Chains A and B, each alone.
Chain A
């Protein structure tokens, strides 16, 4: 083992991955800098902006506020792990169709939060969508189209 680094196994996007992490690395550091998974963005690094949102044990969390070393044995999924997920595809298509993607920096985090929302609350109201996305900042301020896209995708995939 390399001095000063921690080796552990991560359940990442459905695969067991052996990782070597700096001891003070956050999950976001590990994903972006060591594993080249860059859908999760480093915005504020304070848990406020939501651009780094990933799923742990099927719930969205801030990867910038999660220590990599605390993820051993937990199920971690990034946006890259959702390429074949029909609900995520519906969200992505709706975001494009509605014009919900402008610079794109917030989009990955918005998609992760929205994916969880429509799983827990099919056909959410506009207010529910706005409340759910209140922790995902879009500095292009394209909120109306993002909310519209989530409502559209939710309608499409609702049972």
Chain B
């Protein structure tokens, strides 16, 4: 039996989760309730975050960073005019999650908390060097997206922790692109690539090919100034494929994914260098 409780403050939610080890925080419910219906989880309580103030919406914070509250829905991100320049990669990713009805429910905090290896936000956030804001009994802390996933469906989250926001570094003029290959629109990705360009450098993250998003700052540095060099771009894509750990599943074999990575990475880099001098 999963009782729903709806605390009015974040402090109450954190305290409730600390006192009830079998309770789970609930944002949009799109994944959590599906797991309950499939009897994959048996939570004593679902702690709804819906009534807690300041968890929804996008705001500017210190140093022109962007704070996106964990309860911000895919729908809101997909249509946000605050996600410009490099941040557009997140807007593009949000607009391709599932379908318009599920986008009315699901939230970025819930998706990051669930950390499905094929989920769309994680590579987009890794590409942007975003940070995850986590609130637990010790207060709030921030963890780089690239350090957040520790294994298959495993993250740095401790029991009772809540993903309260994600923070984006100031936007680069960009451009940025989100490329997702899926069997049908709205499905989880077979392979996804998030790519942004900053001058003669790119930041690239690959999704759905390992427990968490794949990024390689060293290889990005080696590619700096050579974005138009097809051999260098191909070597960069091969380097990311070498870091991948894909599995065989209904969306494609591991071997297929390894072949897709360099091609999709090269296509994404072409997208963000079009028209650039």
- Residues of A near any B CB (own CB < 8 A): 4, 6, 22-24, 26, 45-47, 50, 53, 59-62, 64-70, 72, 113, 116-117, 131-132, 134-136
State whether B3 touches A135 (Cβ < 8 A): no
**Is B83 part of the contact surface with A, judged by Cβ < 8 Å?**
no
Q: How many residues of B contact A (CB 8 A)?
A: 27
Find chain A residues with CB under 8 A from B6 CB.
Answer: 69-70, 72
Cβ of B39 to closest chain A Cβ, rounded Å: 11
A117 to B99, CA, bound (A): 12
A66 to B98, CA, bound (A): 16
Q: List 7 A-B contacts (CB under 8 A).
A: A60-B101, A61-B101, A62-B102, A67-B2, A67-B46, A134-B186, A135-B99
Find chain A residues with CB under 8 A from B102 CB.
Answer: 47, 62, 135
Number of A-B contacts (CB under 8 A): 91
Q: Which 7 A-B pairs have CB atoms at the shortest separation, nearest pair first?
A: A135-B99, A69-B4, A23-B3, A65-B33, A24-B2, A59-B104, A45-B37
Cβ of A76 to closest chain B Cβ, rounded Å: 14
State whether B26 touches A70 (Cβ < 8 A): yes
Most chain B CB within a 10 A radius of its CB, from A23, A70, A117, A136? A70
Contact with A along B19-52 (1 / 0, CB 8 A): 0000000100110011011100000001010100
**Is B260 part of the contact surface with A, judged by Cβ < 8 Å?**
no
State whether A135 touches B33 (Cβ < 8 A): no
- Residues of B near any A CB (own CB < 8 A): 1-4, 6, 26, 29-30, 33-34, 36-38, 46, 48, 50, 75, 98-102, 104-105, 184-186
State whether A64 touches B30 (Cβ < 8 A): no
Cβ of A60 to closest chain B Cβ, rounded Å: 5
Find chain B residues with CB under 8 A from A22 CB.
Answer: 1
Residues of A contacting B: mostly:
mixed
A47 to B102, CA, bound (A): 8
Cβ of B178 to closest chain A Cβ, rounded Å: 16
Find chain A residues with CB under 8 A from B46 CB.
Answer: 67, 69-70
Cβ of A118 to closest chain B Cβ, rounded Å: 13
A22 to B184, CA, bound (A): 36
Find chain B residues with CB under 8 A from A66 CB.
Answer: 29, 33, 105
Most chain B CB within a 10 A radius of its CB, from A47, A62, A134, A135? A47
Find chain B residues with CB under 8 A from A65 CB.
Answer: 29-30, 33-34, 37, 105
State whether A67 touches B48 (Cβ < 8 A): yes
CB nearest to A8 among chain B residues: B4
Further pairs besides A67-B46, A70-B50: 7, Cβ < 8 Å: A47-B34, A62-B102, A66-B29, A69-B6, A113-B100, A116-B100, A134-B186
Cβ of B35 to closest chain A Cβ, rounded Å: 9
Given contacts A23-B2, A131-B185, contact A46 B29 (CB under 8 A): no
A66 to B30, CA, bound (A): 8
CB nearest to A26 among chain B residues: B33
A81 to B129, CA, bound (A): 46
Find chain A residues with CB under 8 A from B26 CB.
Answer: 67, 70
